[in-house]
Amino acid sequence: MDQLSTTPTTSSIVKSDMLDISIRFKEERKRLGLSQKEAAKALGVSISSLGTYERNQVTPLVWVLLPLYKLGADIQYIVTGERALGVLPEPEQRLITAFRSASSDGQAAILTTATALSGVVTAKKEQKSGTTQIFNGEVGQNISGGFKGDHTFHFGKK
């Protein structure tokens, strides 16, 4: 009878994935504002052991990641490279969920709109046919459409 191994073999973990884990591990430590000395003490490891995680010599084990999680680190991000939704405020979680479930065109529209809304908004009188809203974003796509109103709004850089 075959049994599943709980310890991954070296060949089952891609070396670039391990490097990414060490980079993100260090990034999360710094994001939390911890020095190597502070982090090592909080994790119950020596500074040299912490250094081996951050230099991609050893992949940190769960018993090291658990205290880091309790300090506020995003362990999902360290392991996978994707931020955990629970770390973000609820409106941002909804936005990311909507973005991930959208088609590629929908994702482009979301990025364009978000970029546009974070820029300067200027109003300009439109012809008597109504108002057209034009979003100019950094993703290289313009989205426009008409609606009833008195102004044309241009978002972002023109």
Q: Look at 80 and 8; give whichever has higher pLDDT.
A: 80
Share of the chain above pLDDT 90, in %: 27
* Mean per-residue pLDDT over the chain, rounded: 75
Residue 31 has pLDDT above 70, yes or no: yes
Which pLDDT tens digit goes with each residue over 98-120?
888 889 999 999 989 988 888 74
The residue-averaged pLDDT of 22-44 equals 92
Residue 2 has pLDDT above 50, yes or no: no
How long is the chain?
Answer: 158
The residue-averaged pLDDT of 78-100 equals 78
Burial class of residue 18 (count of CB atoms within 10 Å of its CB; 0-12, 13-18, 19+): middle
Q: What is the pLDDT of residue 87?
A: 62
Whole-angstrom Cα distance, residue 95 to residue 11?
37
Task: Give the C-alpha distances (Å, rounded to integers) separating 56 from 11, 26, 52.
Answer: 16, 10, 6
Q: Look at 80 and 91; give whichever has higher pLDDT.
A: 80
Long-range contacts formed by 116-122: CB under 8 A, 24+ apart: 116/155, 116/156, 117/155, 119/155, 119/156, 119/157, 120/155, 120/156, 121/153, 121/154, 121/155, 122/153, 122/154
Q: Strand 131-136 relative to strand 142-147: parallel, antiparallel, unpaired? A: antiparallel
Residues paired with 131 in a beta bridge: 147
H-assigned helices in 3-126: 15-31, 36-43, 47-54, 62-70, 75-80, 90-101, 104-117
Q: What is the pLDDT of residue 44?
A: 93
